[in-house]
Amino acid sequence: MGGTAVVVGGGIGGLAAALGLRRIGWEVRVVERAAVLADAGAGISLHANGLRALDAVGVGQEVRAAARPQYTGGTRTPDGRWLSRMDGRLLERELGSPIVGIPRAVLHRLLRSALPAECLLVGATVRTLDLSDPDRVGVPVGDGVLDADLVVAADGVHSRLRGLLFPDHPGVVYGGSTVLRAVTEDPVEVRTDFELTWGAGAEFGHIGFTDGRAEWHAVLNAPAGVRHTDPLGMLRGRFGGWHEPIPTLLAATRPEAVLHHDIHELVTPLPSFAAGRVALLGDAAHAMTPHLGQGACQALEDAATLAAALAGEPTVGAALTRYDAERRPRAQSVARAARQAGRMGQQLSHPLALALRNTGLRLAPSRATMRAILRHADWTPPSLV
């Protein structure tokens, strides 16, 4: 089965969906409201499931070549003591790949460069859909209408199309944490590929890149909407007494490079990831907290699964029924696990709760930590042929 598709949203999930659809013979247009596609942002970790999904849509090799494997690291306390260690070699033996770190801008560029330029329509906003014809979807864009057999709603955490398709759904809610992040201006010395440090209601982490620079992020319990006139200065005061390389990472960052976003999630699960001829994908379908590092990986799984369903089913309706059945239980389960990980990790603030958690982590065998990662990362994409 072939056809025409419009992907609304040119982020990681939307671009991967376009690649998967083109790989099975569909004509695709990607509509992105930003005037310039996102060669910005901080960094991202990709687990084996995300990399396998990238293999399925045709760009896994290129992404691996640009990424830094995460063999060393783990979780620490603010004074530098280790709570748990990560064994990237064990993950590689179990899954064929360690977790890898890559700048979001590089990942986005690799996805975009694998698409013909004429597939991309930037600086255009999709505010509504014409759903009057059960056999087609009209996508008003500018002064015209794109006609499609399928629309992929990949328009992010605050998805306009999700609200259109499910008007009675409450939408996303604030998750109780806010995140500041950046990439260092120049290479920095970090002794591990990846780290998290947990304090009271706060987390600081870093990811090393192949060029020697590093991404860092700080997640804090805070009321929604709080912003700082000097975000980097606030972070230096908040984390200045924490172990190295945290002060070094902050010192190596330009103030204007710091990004700040509140974390929103879909606490109320969607009843379906499809409606008519529209498939929801990524944050539009299952916005989750970042505490498992699975948000982008789940969007990539969506993209590969959607393409496989369309390749294997005789009609769009049958394909979207299969897509929903295969993706919704898993993605919503991962979202629940991410929420729980945040509650037991970064969001804990009571001294007794912190002491109990830290003791439990120190006493847990390393294999238990690996099992927690394997539970979500051990996923095999369906065949696209």
For the chain, the structural domain boundaries read 4-70+98-171+266-346
Q: What ranges make up the beta strands (E) of 133-243?
A: 137-141, 144-148, 150-153, 173-183, 194-199, 202-208, 214-221
Question: Could you write out the DSSP letters of every residue in 41-66?
Answer: --EEEE-HHHHHHHHHHT-HHHHHHH
The whole-number pLDDT of residue 178 equals 97
Q: What is the DSSP string of 84-142?
A: EE--HHHHHHHHSS--EEEEHHHHHHHHHHTS-GGGEEES------B--STT-EEEEET
The pLDDT assigned to 334 comes to: 97
Tens-level pLDDT at each residue, the chain (385 residues): 789 999 999 999 999 999 999 999 999 999 999 887 655 679 999 999 999 999 999 999 999 999 999 999 999 999 999 999 988 999 999 999 999 999 999 999 999 999 999 999 999 999 999 999 999 999 999 889 999 999 999 999 999 999 999 999 999 999 999 999 999 999 999 999 999 999 999 999 999 999 999 999 999 999 999 999 999 999 999 999 999 999 999 999 999 999 999 999 999 999 999 999 999 999 999 999 999 999 999 999 999 999 999 999 999 999 999 999 999 999 999 999 999 999 999 999 999 999 999 999 999 887 777 787 888 999 999 998 7
- The residue count of the chain comes to 385
CA distance 291 to 342: 5
Cα distance between residue 293 and residue 116, in whole Å: 30
Q: Provide the pLDDT for residue 2.
A: 82
Q: 4-70+98-171+266-346, what's its fold?
A: FAD/NAD(P)-binding domain (3.50.50)
pLDDT value for 39: 55
Q: Report how far Cα 383 is from the mean position of its chain's Cα atoms.
A: 23
DSSP 243: P
pLDDT value, residue 360? 92
Close Cβ partners of 258 (under 8 Å, ≥ 6 residues apart): 180, 181, 182, 231, 232, 235
